[in-house]
Amino acid sequence: MNATLEKYAPWMLGVLRIVTALVYLEHGTQKLFHFPPMQRFGGAPVRQAAQTASSALSSAVDTASSALSSAAGTVSSMVSSAPPPSAPAAPPEGMPPSMQAIFLVGGLIELIGGIALVLGFLTRPVALIVAGECAVIFWWMHVPRGGIYPISNGGEAAVLFCFTFLYLVFAGPGAFALDNAIFRRKTD
């Protein structure tokens, strides 16, 4: 029985690669094209929840802004009575990029990497890159949100993607891959 199952292992590896890459690809299309639309479990679009959260956040920011402006007036009156500094302070350098830029880069990696993996094109290097992206997503986005445990921080998908793609780095593309046709021709 093992010999029979092992005969089909390259096919199942190819199916694993394709299905995983298609699901991963959806993350890129959501970030870049807002397709497929993100839904909550109850059926209400996440965009509506985000808009509600955004309006609540903006009112909180307005309240904090008015409090800060009154505090700034107090501080400026205190500063005006202090002696002037010897040299003006330089603006901070090396500010981190905006979150939109990070999502754009992540979306491009997910889109291009997902397409390459579905096709089985340059599978090993692409799988290494996307596994690294998944690890970065887990450590930067999920761990600060809810600790190290994936079940607590919502990072189960990132961990599973990371290790599935890491497996493809070592196992190769399996069946149904352009890599098989390209590299077979070059060796003939």
Q: How confident is the model at residue 59 (pLDDT cuts 50, 70, 90)?
A: low
* pLDDT > 60? residue 33: yes
* pLDDT > 50? residue 89: no
User: Can you tell me the mean pLDDT for 110-120?
Assistant: 98
Q: How confident is the model at residue 48 (pLDDT cuts 50, 70, 90)?
A: low
Q: Which residue has the tokens 């880069």?
A: 105
Q: What share of the chain is helix, strand, coil (3-state, %, to 5)?
A: 75, 0, 25
pLDDT attached to residue 39: 75
- Gap between the Cα atoms of 110 and 29, Å rounded: 8
User: Can you tell me the mean pLDDT for 33-55?
Assistant: 61
pTM exceeds 0.85, yes or no: no
Q: What is the mean pLDDT of the chain?
A: 79
pLDDT attached to residue 76: 52
* pLDDT > 50? residue 68: no
* pLDDT > 90? residue 131: yes
Closest Cα partner for 112 from 126, 131, 128?
126
* pLDDT > 50? residue 93: no
59: its two tokens: 């009112």
* pLDDT > 70? residue 37: yes
Q: How confident is the model at residue 94 (pLDDT cuts 50, 70, 90)?
A: very low
pLDDT attached to residue 170: 98
Q: How confident is the model at residue 49 (pLDDT cuts 50, 70, 90)?
A: very low
pLDDT attached to residue 78: 43
Rounded to 5 degrees, what angle do the CA atoms 103, 106, 109 make? Answer: 150
